[in-house]
Structure 1
Amino acid sequence: MGRFIRFFMATVAGILLCVPVASAADGGCYGYLTEMVRSSDFPFRYVTKDRVNLLIDEDDGEMVRAQLFYDTDGTGTIGWVEYNVTTHVLRNTSAELEEPVALTFDAAFAKGYAQCVAKGAGA
């Protein structure tokens, strides 16, 4: 039974490590995306910007799609965004919108993200 529990815990830990949660403190490129969203005019209704994190849903190298969330006992989801790496366009793609809305943000984070990816630091 002890082996099974260790195997199960190692498997769960491995799966959790594969989920790319971005935060400002992480040294990877996704930290730039988190700060980009925090600096944007996204309508943060339920929480202050500094508590928002990203859960990357998709990153194909050209487009990054992410869920915005904050730590809570519930779901904590506040919306979704997508970032076009080539055109540097960040859009609010939350479900309640009829059409995605382009967001303004601090361009320094787009530059930082591009430089990070170019260095091969990965996300």
Structure 2
Amino acid sequence: MKINIAVGGLLALASLPGMAVPPETDAEHPDNERCAWVLDTLVSTSSLPLLVTSGIDPSSVRADIDRREGQRLIAQVSFPVTPDPETPGAGQLGWVQYDPDSGVLDDITTDPKKPEALDFDRRYVQLYAGCLEQKPMYSVIGKGRLTFYQNPELTNPVPGVFILPDEPVRWLVAKESAARVRYQSRDGRIYLGWVPSSRLKVIDFNRQK
């Protein structure tokens, strides 16, 4: 099956294998809509070539899931444009595959059989996994960076580790006014520590981007 993809301003054809999939693994999967804004954001931070060179607003990027191959998600990346029959590929930035288990994002625009690894903001690995697993995720609220502590009494800071407002964390356990959380940084490093629970707010995955 042929899929139209715009590459470098020209309309190209790329053959994507394995288009026939069971209904429960196709683009109508119930997680797609609920978690769409997280995947959109994850992909919008990536090093996908046309995304980097286009200069478009990252908030307008969409990663529409076409199908699943096991755990991997195959998505077309685009941004909204006014339909024009003269340029049917306008707005298309390419194709990616993402594995929520490994947190690996690949560019498969040129050749699906030779995926090219993409860099991206890895804070969204944990956030997207939490959405798919339907586990509560929290974001930091309030002003100023949030210090990580080694103990629930919040008396021993973890040197050099803090979280910024709006960054996501997973709440592991609570003790009095403190919460032990798991934080994944932009570069993928994972930190465990205690923070004031009053600085955390549950993320509504059903919200729009």
Using structure 1 for the length normalisation, give the TM-score.
0.66
Q: Distance in 1 between matches of 2:73 and 2:113?
A: 20
- 2 CA distance for matches of 1:56 and 1:80? 10
The structural deviation recorded for 1:30 is 2.1
Aligned to 2:38: 32
Among candidates 83, 107, 110, match of residue 95 of structure 1: 110
Instruction: Within 5 Å, give how 1:49-88 maps onto structure 2.
Output: 49-60=58-69, 62-72=71-81, 73=83, 74-75=88-89, 76-88=91-103
Deviation at 1:113, TM superposition (A): 0.6
Question: How far did 1:59 drift?
Answer: 2.7
For residues 56-100 of structure 1, the C-alpha deviation after alignment (integer angstroms, 9 at most, x for no partner) is: 111356110000112222432110000012111000110268832
Alpha-carbon distance in 2 for matches of 1:119, 1:98: 31
Structure showing greater relative contact order (alpha-carbon pairs closer than 8 Å, 6 or more residues apart): 1
Letter of the 2:36 partner, please give it: Y
- The runs of 4+ residues in structure 1 deviating greater than 6 Å are none
Give the length in aligned residue pairs: 100
Greater radius of gyration (CA):
2
- Evaluate the alpha carbon distance shift between residue 78 and residue 62 of structure 1 in structure 2; reply closer, same or farther with a 3 A threshold: same
Amino acid at match of 1:66: A
Q: Considering only aligned residues, what root-mean-square deviation do their CA atoms show, in Å?
A: 3.0
Letter in 2 for 1:40: S
Return 5+ residue gaps in structure 1 as ranges.
1-17, 21-25
Aligned identity (percent) is 26
User: Which structure features the higher share of strand residues?
Assistant: 2
**TM-score, normalising length: structure 2:** 0.41
C-alpha separation in 2, matches of 1:112 and 1:77:
25
Contact persistence 2:27–2:67 (CA under 8 A): no
Gaps of 5+ in 2: 1-25, 136-204
**Aligned pair 1:119/2:134, yes or no?**
yes
- Distance across 1 between alignment mates of 2:92 and 2:59: 15
Letter in 1 for 2:59: D
Between structures 1 and 2, the one with greater helix share = 1
1:47 CA drift (Å): 5.0
CA contact (8 A) 2:61 2:79 kept: yes
